Amino acid sequence: MVTGASGAVGATAVQLAARAGAEIVGVVGRPAKLPHVPDAAKAVLAADLSEESIGGKVDVLIDTVGGTILRNALALVRPRGRAALVGYTAGRELTLDLADFFLADVSLLPVNMISRGKEVAAEVVRLLPDLSSGELTLPYERYGIDRLEDAVGQLRKGEAVGKVVLDLG
């Protein structure tokens, strides 16, 4: 399961998991983002997230948003499963019932890409041809400098799909 599946990191995670042969559930927070979940994933709205809606517990959770979405998604990881926390755009705090968390027996792993830059640089370079050819895609919205206010508004409302690129030219 990938939360934030319409964002750049989430969409890339979906595509890479699909390459590995995984069955993927892509979770988004807003109905308008459902069409932007990569085709390789079953798109699910965070408000509808349940064991029934995703077809049972998952082995791996890649969470790019944090907050209550992470807390709710953790309950859907099978015992001895893994959850990787990559971002926290939906909130910096996580409240858990520790007894439930211990019983769930799920490993929560923070992924700090800033401190691991040298470790992952070679892998990023290896993926560049796939991005150039379109085999892998990164969602983004492009705005001219004259639309800076619109770009900021999209980010503040959480309505941007993928990264927001400001064209200064």
Whole-structure pTM value: 0.87
> How far is the C-alpha of 65 from the C-alpha of 75, rounded, in Å?
16
Same domain, 24 and 87: yes
Q: Would residue 123 count as lying in a domain?
A: no
Give residue 28's pLDDT: 94
Same domain, 20 and 86: yes
Give residue 89's pLDDT: 83
Same domain, 34 and 88: yes
Same domain, 23 and 90: yes
Percentage of the chain beyond pLDDT 90 is 69
Which of 110, 131, 159 delimits the end of a domain?
A: 110
> How far is the C-alpha of 88 from the C-alpha of 99, rounded, in Å?
24
In this predicted structure, the answer to whether residue 107 has a pLDDT above a threshold of 90 is yes
**Residue positions counted in the chain:** 169
Residue showing tokens 């408000």: 47
Percentage of the chain beyond pLDDT 70 is 100
In this predicted structure, the answer to whether residue 14 has a pLDDT above a threshold of 90 is yes
How crowded is residue 78: how many other Cβ atoms within 10 Å of its Cβ? Answer: 14
Q: Would residue 167 count as lying in a domain?
A: yes
Share the mean pLDDT of the chain: 92
In this predicted structure, the answer to whether residue 87 has a pLDDT above a threshold of 90 is no
Q: Would residue 134 count as lying in a domain?
A: no
Max avg pLDDT among 56-60, 115-119, 135-139: 56-60
Number of domains comprising the chain:
2
Give residue 153's pLDDT: 94
pLDDT band (50, 70, 90) for residue 91? confident
3-state class (DSSP) for residue 140: strand
Q: Would residue 132 count as lying in a domain?
A: no
DSSP codes of every residue in 33-88:
GGGGS-TTEEEEEGGG-SHHHHTS-EEEEEESS-HHHHHHHHTTEEEEEEEEE---
CB 26 within 8 A of CB 48: no
Kind and range of the H or E run holding 103: helix 98-104
Q: Would residue 116 count as lying in a domain?
A: no
User: Residues 33-60: what's their mean pLDDT?
Assistant: 95
In this predicted structure, the answer to whether residue 112 has a pLDDT above a threshold of 90 is no
In this predicted structure, the answer to whether residue 77 has a pLDDT above a threshold of 90 is yes
φ, ψ dihedrals at 25, nearest 5°: -110, 125
Residue showing tokens 């923070």: 110
Q: What is the CATH number of the domain that holds 14?
A: 3.40.50.720
Q: Would residue 65 count as lying in a domain?
A: yes
Q: Would residue 18 count as lying in a domain?
A: yes
Domain that holds residue 151: 139-169
Q: Would residue 133 count as lying in a domain?
A: no
